[in-house]
Chains A and B, each alone.
Chain A
Amino acid sequence: MSAVLPVPAAATRRLAGALDPDGVRDILPIVVSVIPFAAVIGVTIAQLDTVPAWVGILSGPLIYAGTAQLAALTLFDSGAGVAAVLGAVAVINARLTMYGAAMEPLFRQQPAWFRWLAPHFLVDQTYAIAEARPQLRDPRRFRRYWLTAGLVLGVAWTATMAAAVLLGPVLPAASPLDFAATATFVGLLVPRLRQRVARRPALIAAVVGLLVASMPNGIGLLIAAAAGLMPALLGRTSP
């Protein structure tokens, strides 16, 4: 036994040495905050009729964006067409283009493999924590930080989903956890409303969303989100 123990210990040390300490420090609170949402998606996966559990779990690290993943899973399971599923995913994740545009200077000096593959880890939370650290202008530093945060979040997200899939059958049909997805978006939206320019598109989208919520297959969401963009697309400046 004693000859075996140093191997995992050494591997653990190597892994710890490869991770960026600031990346770990910044992403851990995010990991805690996304656990309820990942569990909700896991429980949802366990209840789907047309999506095998392993496919549902695999869609987590593949899509790496919880709301779009949830929308894709539930729309597909409800019989929506491919165009409706992909359209909903595109609209829900359209904000990632904005984050990408804002982060482009950090990727400019990176090797090609990083510029093409590492944006996979771009979500609200990783954008928010990286944007708050000006010392990441150093390309090597940013690369290590970004991969650490993205991988830790992805592993935690996938593991939580998988555990929830397994526990889903023994969990109660209704629980306060059912509200975690909505609460997550309230928590992401509300701090943005401190910026005055965010209030008009949010208000328009919310009102239209209430009006069209009964439309099937996420179409109401598409219409409401598009309505929020109209003032800017039509060239009118925000107040």
Chain B
Amino acid sequence: MSALLVLTAAALVTWALRVAFITVVPAGRMPARVQRALDDVAPSVMAAIVAVQLAGGHAGIGILPVEAGAALIGGAVAWRTSNLGLSVLAGVVAYGLLGLL
């Protein structure tokens, strides 16, 4: 299948997720258990993405030290400011500086 078709399908999957509880099924009708799980999706997915990226494809518990240090610094800025731009900037600058060590 061509890249255009697969990426268009990916766009349709994403759109379906967006309209699912806005237009297709009223949000208030969802079972409580599912609503609880939906509440956990954001921290689960984001933590999983960060962990997989920090692991750098290594098997077992192991992380890339420079990336982990930069993530800690970016995370500290995010915790203090809740400013996405600042935390990304801090993480990227820290990554550049730690890479020089």
A residues in contact (CB < 8 Å) with B = 29-30, 32-33, 36-37, 50-52, 55-56, 58-59, 62-65, 67-69, 72-73, 76, 82, 85-86, 89-98, 100-104, 107, 115-116, 119-120, 122, 124-125, 175-194, 197-199, 201-214, 220-221, 224-229, 231-233, 235, 237-238
A-B CB proximity, top 10 nearest: A228-B44, A183-B91, A209-B51, A176-B96, A213-B55, A187-B87, A224-B48, A33-B85, A101-B27, A179-B95
Please report B residues at the A interface, Cβ cutoff 8 Å: 1, 3-4, 6-11, 13-15, 17-23, 26-28, 30, 33-63, 67, 70-71, 74-75, 77-79, 82-85, 87-88, 90-93, 95-96, 99
Q: A18 vs B51: C-alpha distance in the bound complex, in angstroms?
A: 42
B57 CB, nearest partner CB in chain A, Å: 5
Besides A63-B11, A191-B79, 20 more A-B contacts (Cβ < 8 Å) are A29-B85, A33-B84, A59-B10, A59-B11, A69-B10, A94-B45, A95-B45, A100-B18, A122-B22, A182-B53, A183-B87, A183-B91, A185-B49, A187-B84, A198-B40, A206-B51, A209-B49, A225-B44, A228-B45, A229-B44
Bound together, the chains give a CA A238 to CA B35 distance in angstroms of 13
Of chain A, the residue at the smallest CB distance from B34 is A233
Residues of A near B11 (CB, < 8 A) are 59, 62-64
- CB pair B78 A233 closer than 8 Å: no
B37 touches A183 (CB 8 A): no
State how many angstroms separate the Cβ of B49 from the closest Cβ of chain A: 5
Instruction: Let me know if B85 and A89 touch, CB within 8 A.
Output: no
Chain B residue with the shortest CB-CB distance to A174: B99
Which residues of A sit under 8 angstroms from B52, Cβ to Cβ?
209-210, 212-213, 220-221, 224
Chain A interface helix/strand/loop/mixed: helix
> Does B48 contact A73, Cβ atoms closer than 8 Å?
no
Enumerate chain B residues within 8 angstroms of A210, measured Cβ to Cβ.
51-52, 54-55, 60-63
Q: Which residue of B lies closest to A104 (CB)?
A: B27
Interface centre among B15, B20, B96 (most CB of A within 10 A): B15
For A29, the closest partner residue in chain B by CB is B85
